[in-house]
Amino acid sequence: MSSDADLHALRHSASHIMAQAVRKLFPNVKLGIGPAIEDGFYYDFKTGTPFTTDDLKKIETEMKSIIKSKEAFERFELSYGEAKEFLAKQNEPLKLELLEDHRDETISFYRNGDFTDLCAGPHLEHTGQLKAFKLLSVAGAYWRGDEKNEMLQRIYGTAFATKDDLQAYLTQLEEAEKRDHRKLGAELDLFSIHHKEAGPGLIYWHPRGSIVRRVIEDFWKNTHEDHGYQLVYTPHLVKVDMWKTSGHYQMQYPMYFTEIDGDEYGVKPMNCPGHIMIYKTQTRSYRDLPIRQAEMGTVYRHEKSGVLHGMLRVRGFTQDDAHVFCTPAQLLDEMLGILGLIDTILGTFGFQYQAYLSTRPEKSVGSDENWEMATNALREALDKKGLPYIEDPGEGVFYGPKIDFKIKDAIGRTWQLSTVQVDFNLPERFDMRFIDSDGEQKHPVMIHRAIFGSFERFMGILIEHFAGAFPIWCAPEQAIVIPIADRHLDYCKEVAKKIRAAGLRAVVDERNEKLGYKIRSAQKQKIPYMLVAGDKEVEEGRVSVRTRAEGDQGAAPVQEVIDAILAQVREFK
């Protein structure tokens, strides 16, 4: 494929071929929608009986027959009335519902062989051009993504220009399955979700996962304080008046509401208005700016159950949120500082990233002058930092331009992570002011900024990126001390005590189990250092060292091992 558009057309064509195969094998199904998506395609079907794995194999076989016949994709158009009559004869109620969104338009269809679908296109020239595809899975999906609608059967697939590209993707999927944070999260005792008892989309951090989070939080706090941020805390529950002022109430943002003493309250879905309240408690001068506020604020959003996914998409999460209030003249310097902070934090985890500059969309607020000033400041900051970036015209948020950062993980997947957004809207809506050098009251510029996005999602990404083997500086336990027999237990406890006194995390395996079992257990828990002690080690004041990556390293004095672990931790931080 020569472009993303070509690959999109190929995958869209694959979805049609799949739907054609399904209709031939299961004549009573009704068709929903079948778009191309980022890594493939899907099609939704209304059927009384769920599809099985064996069904997918049959559908693939039928698709290959359609591909072999090289049927041409032919476009034709009908008026709304003609299209309605055509779909009624086809007995396609879901398609008729979709048609109602296009009453005043000429309606396009695509035909190949004996199959015709309501579709805007584009497609391949003929079915024979689909060379490499694979059906992946089947899942339930609410019609048009609305939980109030009926559940359909969605078949997912993928397609590529070459068989080599397809095989590379399937290999990546296999590796991703091994690294699935939900599976590893349970195996490593990091977190759990209690769907039936407590509700979906809510994360319970276990002790081991909490240690990882706490260490990262401490690193985050210290780094922010070093960059001139002040840490704040804001309430979880706020009267709806604030959300009406911000506009979230009118936009029907996915919030949770309750009533207290006759007043309606909203559980906060974001921290921005709370930081504005703190700003407004005092009269601010241009000499007070910039003001940088940072909060690890737990928020809640009413996400639909169909989109929830482990730690990656949840209803309750903690944002690593920050807001900078500055004058327009300070915007460039503040952006440079934020870019440096992002580089420091993401670099600590070894992530490389790509920056995307998103400019003014068609629907927006704010003056042309403000948009030009802010966009130029973001562009100049990227240039001064020497950061290559891709410009996304019209993809800014309605209240200002932004820079997004996407990282690649260990197996080549891309994740949207950090974001920096300039906001002209909220300072005006909340009538935020500062007294400028000319004595006039003016609105400050507000910068929204998150680096991890949320601790829950970031933890899920980390688990999958490192396959559960966290860098030594944030591993739940940096060392485990293993006695060969019970008579060595007191010595091992003393070793662990010395390790902890040096500021490291260590535990002792006190279980009455064989040595081999204990070592395998520690290896499965992906603990960086396993320190074994028996009669000889006790006598010589040493431990036998094993690492999760390199295995047996031989015996060494305890202090030498401690110094080696400390040195390795310092390499990361």
From 438, 462, 486, the end of a domain falls on: 462
Cα 28–29–30 angle (5° rounding)? 120
Residue 148 bears catalytic tag: no
Looking at the structure, tell me whether residues 31 and 170 fall in a common domain: yes
- Of 442, 462, 482, which marks where a domain is finished? 462
Cα 218 from chain centre: 22
Quick check: is 301 catalytic? Answer: yes
- DSSP state at residue 127: G
CATH code assigned at 561? 3.40.50.800
Judge if 401 and 546 occupy the same domain: no
* Residues 451 and 492 occupy one common structural domain: no
Please check whether residue 210 lies inside any domain of the structure.
Answer: no
What is the percentage of the chain residues whose pLDDT exceeds 70? 99
Distance CA 559, CA 542 (A): 9
Q: What are phi and psi of 398, to 5 degrees?
A: -65, -20
As a whole number, the mean pLDDT across the chain is 94
Is the pLDDT confidence value at 33 over 70? yes
The one catalytic residue among 23, 292, 448, 465: 448
535 falls within a domain: yes
Which of 11, 16, 323, 360 is an active site residue?
323
- Portion of the chain with pLDDT greater than 90, in percent: 87
- How far apart CA 175 and CA 182 sit, in angstroms, is 14
Say what the pLDDT of residue 1 is. 43
pLDDT score recorded for residue 563: 97
Rounded Cα–Cα distance for residues 488 and 535 (Å): 7
pLDDT at 103: 82
Mean per-residue pLDDT for 77-101? 92
pLDDT, tens digit, for every residue of 538-548?
999 999 999 99
263 part of a folded domain:
no
Do 60 and 114 sit in the same domain of this protein? yes
Among 301, 457, 465, 546, which one carries the catalytic annotation?
301
**Residue 253 placed within a domain:** no
Q: Do 483 and 412 belong together in one domain?
A: no
Predicted pLDDT of residue 565: 96
Report angle CA 84, 86, 89 to the nearest 5 degrees: 110
> Do residues 155 and 52 both lie within one domain?
yes
Q: Report, as an integer, the average pLDDT of 508-512.
A: 95
The confidence score (pLDDT) of residue 366 equals 81
For the whole model, what pTM was predicted? Answer: 0.88
pLDDT of residue 538: 96
- Quick one: pLDDT at residue 280? 97
Write down the pLDDT at residue 573: 63
Residue 73: inside a domain: yes
Q: How would residue 252 be classed by pLDDT, with cut points 50, 70 and 90?
A: confident
- Of the candidates 20, 153, 293, 319, the residue annotated as catalytic is 319
Check residue 270 and give its pLDDT. 93
For residues 456 and 477, give the distance between their C-alpha atoms in angstroms, rounded to a whole number.
Answer: 20
Q: Pick the catalytic residue: 117, 320, 321, 509? A: 321
The reply to whether 478 and 456 lie within a common domain is no
Q: What is the pLDDT of residue 148?
A: 83
Identify the pLDDT of residue 398.
86
CATH of the domain at 275: 3.30.930.10
Domain that holds residue 543: 472-572
Residue 244 included in any domain: no
Q: Which of 5, 39, 6, 35 is nearest to 19 (CA)?
A: 35
pLDDT number for residue 253: 87
Torsion (CA) 179, 185, 187, 189 in degrees, nearest 10: 150
Q: What is the mean predicted confidence (pLDDT) over 463-479?
A: 97
Q: Is 261 a catalytic residue?
A: no
Whether residues 311 and 454 share a domain: the answer is: yes
Tell me if residue 183 falls in helix, strand or coil. Answer: helix
Active-site residue among 11, 44, 55, 272? 272
Number of domains comprising the chain: 3
Q: Give residue-wise pLDDT tens across range 253-288.
A: 899 999 999 999 999 999 999 999 999 999 999 999
Q: Is residue 197 part of a domain?
A: no
Annotated catalytic residue 546: no
Candidate list 95, 313, 360, 402, residue with the active-site label: 402
Contacts of 440 (CB under 8 A, 6+ apart): none
Same domain for 67 and 11?
yes
**Selection from 439, 449, 446 nearest residue 286 by Cα:** 439
Q: What is the pLDDT of residue 249?
A: 87
CATH code where residue 148 lies = 3.30.980.10
pLDDT mean over 60-80: 95
Is residue 312 in a domain?
Answer: yes
Residues 32 and 150 occupy one common structural domain: yes
Does residue 518 have an active-site annotation?
no
